Structure 1
């Protein structure tokens, strides 16, 4: 299962790179709010590149120092995206910025996973509210990124479920853990594919 996991991870990184590249190409065609999808994808690509460089170029065995940047940046970008899309009050930035500050400046390896779960739950709430709003307005407003939003909601929800499942059931073998996280990465692939599809079908 470890080999299969590595293959899935390779495809995951490939789709991430493709979505970032297409997002940059289509950037000028996007509305101001939609440009946050590109910021989000570019950020994930840069984090993944930093991880690879740290491991394979600098031969670092511990890359935990990147985790606070990853969690806080991801939360800020997706939080900002959905606050803008849903026309929510700017006061919603207050809890987002507070959480981002805590995630970034309080670097504790023991709580890093918990930070990710909290971040994911916040993203799920914003994405879910945005989806409900988009569905209600579907007859009068055709949101171009509704498919991407649905996969964002699904991916982050499944990630939280997997985290709690692995924490509660610690009897999983290594192969089973690789299989579970492999399924999570497959869903992540579909998230990137949905964003690629959305970028490609955009018209001027």
Structure 2
């Protein structure tokens, strides 16, 4: 199971690198709303690069301090993306930003126990709600169905299943090593599906 996990982990590194180059090539043909996908992709790429830099160049054994920033960045970028697509009032950005800032402040308080995985589950659920509502609106109105609906659907699917995996991990404290890496491996497979949907969508984009 470790090999299964590592195989898709390295595959995802390659896919993410491919996507990063691809989105910059297509950046000029994107409208304002569509450019939000690029910010999300670049953020994921930078987080992976920074994590690898700390782990293999600086040889830090623990890079978990990056996890809260990953949670907040992912949450802000995806919720902002869907808020923009749904044309929600500007105060929605303020509410989301305040929630993210509050988490970072609380997380930095010494001796205060915060379960980052539970926060991740909560942020994923909010992302799922936004993505699901966006998909319903697109299906209802036929808006942007030819461009980014596939990515929105894959985001909804990926984060929905991720919530399930996090809940399983929380409930099953005594997971065997094989089962642990199986869950991580399947999560990597889902990431690969999401990345492939992004590559497919951007390859099809035309002016």
Aligned to 1:99: 99
Aligned to 1:88: 88
Aligned partner of residue 96 in structure 2, secondary structure: helix
Separation of aligned partners in 2, 1:142 and 1:149 = 10
Query: Which of 117, 120, 124 is equivalent to 1:116?
Result: 120
1:102, CA displacement in angstroms? 2.1
Gaps of 5+ in 2: none
Separation of aligned partners in 2, 1:60 and 1:38 = 29
1:110, CA displacement in angstroms? 4.2
Separation of aligned partners in 2, 1:38 and 1:14 = 17
Residue 181 (structure 1) aligned with residue 184 (structure 2): yes
Q: Contact (CA 8 Å) 1:20, 1:45: kept in 2 or not?
A: yes
Query: What is the TM-score with the length of structure 1 in the denominator?
Result: 0.95
Separation of aligned partners in 2, 1:143 and 1:104 = 37
* Distance change in 2, residues 1:128/1:52 (3 Å): same
Residue 71 (structure 1) aligned with residue 79 (structure 2): no
Aligned partner of residue 59 in structure 1, secondary structure: coil
Which is worse superposed, 152-161 or 83-92? 83-92
Aligned partner of residue 106 in structure 1, secondary structure: helix
Runs of 4+ displaced beyond 3 Å: 140-143
Residue 194 (structure 1) aligned with residue 164 (structure 2): no
Structure-to-structure mapping, 1:141-180, within 5 angstroms: 142-180=145-183
Which is worse superposed, 160-169 or 99-108? 99-108
Separation of aligned partners in 2, 1:161 and 1:36 = 26
Q: CA RMSD in A?
A: 1.4
Query: What is the TM-score with the length of structure 2 in the denominator?
Result: 0.93
